[in-house]
Structure 1
Amino acid sequence: MTSPSQPDAEAKTITPAAPAKGRGLAGLALLVAIAALGAAGWSSWQLYQQQTQSARLLAQFNEAGAAAQQQLQASEQRVEQRLSGIPTAAAIATQRDLLVTLQGDQQRLAKTLSEVLGKSREDWRLAEAEHLMRLAMLRLTALQDVSSATALVQGADDILRAQEDPQAFAARGELIKVLEALRSLPQVDRSGLFLQLAALRAQVAELQMLAPEYILPPQAPSAVNASDSSRWDDLWAELSRYIRVDLHADQDVRPQLAGQSLAQVRLTLALALEQAQWGALNGQPEVYRQALASAREVLDRYFDRDNQAVMALQQRIGELSQQSVVTEPPKLDEALNALQAYLKQREAADLMPEASAPAVEEGGQ
């Protein structure tokens, strides 16, 4: 149940709301004023900063303009200096004429130098050809080395061919004759024969067991109470050291070789092969063939003919005895004389080039 005094209380509580609303509006206006004042201050500060930056930029622009002007002035001065150093048209024409004259002199000098060097190089090559011919003669006469002599003469012919001189036709003809004669000769390999005989000498040492040699079997120590049969066996073993009989009805009876005799036979065979080596290396066909014949005789007399190693050694010695150790090389004197005559003719032509030129002019007139 509501009391009569309740409306009055509500009226009392609602009445003070008007002053509170007025204070809120005043606060809001104050805030707006403060914000406006801050914005005005910020704007003033920004304007101040922009003015300061503009003044700074203006000062930098003025400095850059002054520096650019100084550089421009310095460039103008350098250009004026360069322009002042440029020669005049007359001076340029004079320098051009001097340059043309200098180039002509250089070309003539280079041509003269190339001619001189070319002649010197040709002379060196021709001297080399003569030296090759002398070496070929030495190889043929001293060692009879046909292959090396052929290569040396071919080198001399190549040098003459590179000259492309018609006057060298006769000399080249002689060289080609020598080349064909050398190519038709049989190839004599003296060093190869020497090495092959050395290999056969090494095989002689392996023939020591091919000759029959009696080797006693090892004997056991005799007992104290040896029987009569063992005594006869010992006696027979002792006699076997001095006497041995080996009879074959279908073969020749040959003496057995003991250690010292076998060593002497092997030494004789090795010396025969060594003598054959000397004959092959020095171009002595008689000594070569006679030494090989002696070696075959030693093999046939003292060693077993049916042994495979002895048969192979005899067959190899027979093949080597058919090899030639000397040839009849052609004479290189005519070819060398023709080459020397060509060199003298060429030297005489180089010494008198000016003497021949006036003669030609007088004949033309």
Structure 2
Amino acid sequence: MTNKNQDHSSEPESVQKPQDKAQKEVKKTSDIPEQKPKTAHIPPSQTPQRGIKLAALAIALSIVLPSGLAFYTYQQNIQYQTQISTLQSQLQDTKTLIQKELAANQEASVLKVEAVSHKTETRLAQQQRSIDSLQLAIADVKGRRPNDWLLAEADYLVKLAGRKLFLEHDVQSATELMESADQRIAALNDPSLVQLRQSLANDIMSLRSIPIIDKDGLVLRITALQQQVDKLPLANAIQPQVSEKEQPKVSEDIHDWQANLMASLKDFSQNFITFRTRDGSAIPLLSPQQHFYLKENLKAKLETAIKAVYLEQQNIYTTALTTADSWSNTYFNQEANTVAEFNKAIVLLSKQNIQISYPVKLETQQSLSDVIRERLRRDVTTLIMEDK
């Protein structure tokens, strides 16, 4: 009890006085008794120890918390750096991929644009050609003059002459066609076509200077020789010539009676046994089968010469006839008149020239095309000016 009273007495007056005043005021206002609240008292011996603990705890917290916070911040920074590096690598990969896709798309777009541009240019060119052809057609219809058909006919004749010359090697027909074209142009009586007529004259003179080969005549002659092959007689067995010896002569001198006697005996003995000396080997007769092959091969050589005439192959023509002449001289009877005439005809035919050098092109073709094109262009320009 003493302790409690001491405790109460040790309390400061500032604490007790307000309570007493309050109690007095409550007693005055009411007669109801009021119980005092119980307060907990801390022993004085426990207060310093608790403060020391709190201070130590505060100091420990002040040391641990910054270190932990720094370590946590360091770990977070490392984690953030790792994430940033990963994101940067992903961003770089994404950037590279996007650049590749953009390059591929750009290249594809360029190719598509070029393809579209090429198609457009092609269509424009086609349309321009169509327009040009339509303008030429309109000029041909509206601007045609009465004598223009003569110029068109001359152009047709010149082109036909070129085909006859370069494809068929028909020089005579080509010359006649060029002369007909010159007559058509002369009928126009146009002084501006003097240069064109000069080109025609040059081409006509060039064609007339080409030697004309009678191919049909050569072929007919060779065909006639083919038909005579079966009638040619074969040669007999060919033997080498005998070397002739001088026969001993009987003299009239009586002192040469021994030589005359020996000469008479030799001349008498030759009627029983004859010795002849031959130099070389004998060529035997051909069998019937070989005779057939010989004639067929000879006909084939003549047929080769006929084809060479039309193709103008001089080497093949000459070689075929030379081989035929060699076979005829070797295997047929040279004493027969038919064989001699056959050989003579082959020799004459082998000397014929069947190869001709033709001009590379006709000068008139280009000149005439230029004249027609210039006239059509002039007509088109006139029509366009009239439309405007």
TM-score between both structures, scaled by the size of structure 1 = 0.51
1:73-123 deviation per Cα after TM superposition (whole angstroms, max 9, x unaligned): xxxxxxxxxxxxxxxxxxxxxxxxxxxxxxxxxxxxxxxxxxx99956633
Answer yes or no: is the 8 Å Cα contact 2:157–2:178 preserved in 1.
yes
Residue 179 (structure 2) pairs with residue 154 (structure 1): yes
d(CA) in 2 for partners of 1:167, 1:249 = 86
1:1-365 mapped onto 2 (5 Å cutoff) = 119=144, 122-207=147-232, 209-212=233-236, 253-353=282-382
Equivalent-residue separation in structure 1 for 2:177 and 2:277 (angstroms): 63
Whole-angstrom CA distance in 1 between matches of 2:187 and 2:142: 16
Asked if structure 2 preserves the Cα contact closer than 8 Å seen for 1:280 and 1:325, the reply is: yes
CA contact (8 A) 2:165 2:174 kept: yes
* Conserved 8 A contact 1:178-1:330: no
Query: Percent same amino acid among aligned pairs?
Result: 31
Structure 1 Cα separation of the partners of residues 167 and 347 of structure 2: 27
Which sections of structure 1, spanning at least 5 residues, go unmatched?
1-115, 214-246, 358-365
1:127-184 Cα deviation digits (max 9, x unpaired): 2222222222222222322111111111111111111111211111111111111111
Q: What amino acid is aligned across from residue 197 of structure 1 in structure 2?
A: I
Are residues 251 and 314 of structure 1, via their aligned partners in 2, closer, same or farther at CA, if it must alter by over 3 Å? farther
Aligned residues: CA RMSD = 3.0
Aligned 8 A contact 1:178 1:332 in 2:
no
Structure 1 Cα separation of the partners of residues 142 and 214 of structure 2: 43
Q: 1:216-271 CA deviation, whole Å, 9 max, x = no partner?
A: xxxxxxxxxxxxxxxxxxxxxxxxxxxxxxx9989995421232111111011101
Change (3 A) 1:350 1:303: same
Q: Which has the larger Rg?
A: 2
Q: Is the 8 A contact 1:210 1:307 kept in 2?
A: no
Tell me: CA distance 1:302–1:342, structure 2 relative to 1, closer, same or farther (3 Å). Answer: same
SS of the equivalent of 2:147 reads helix
Superposition TM-score, scaled by structure 2 size: 0.48
- How many angstroms apart in 2 are the aligned matches of 1:163 and 1:120? 11
Which amino acid in structure 1 is aligned with residue 171 of structure 2? V
- In 2, the alpha carbon distance for the partners of 1:203 and 1:248 equals 38
Q: Quote how far apart the aligned CAs of 1:190 are.
A: 2.0
Note the C-alpha offset of 1:354: 6.8
- Kindly tell me: are residues 125 and 310 of structure 1, through their superposed partners in 2, closer, same or farther at Cα, counting changes over 3 Å? same
What is the rounded CA distance, in whole Å, between the counterparts of 1:164 and 1:356 in structure 2? 28
Q: In the TM superposition, what is the alpha-carbon distance from 1:212 to its structure 2 partner? A: 4.0
SS across alignment from 2:347? helix
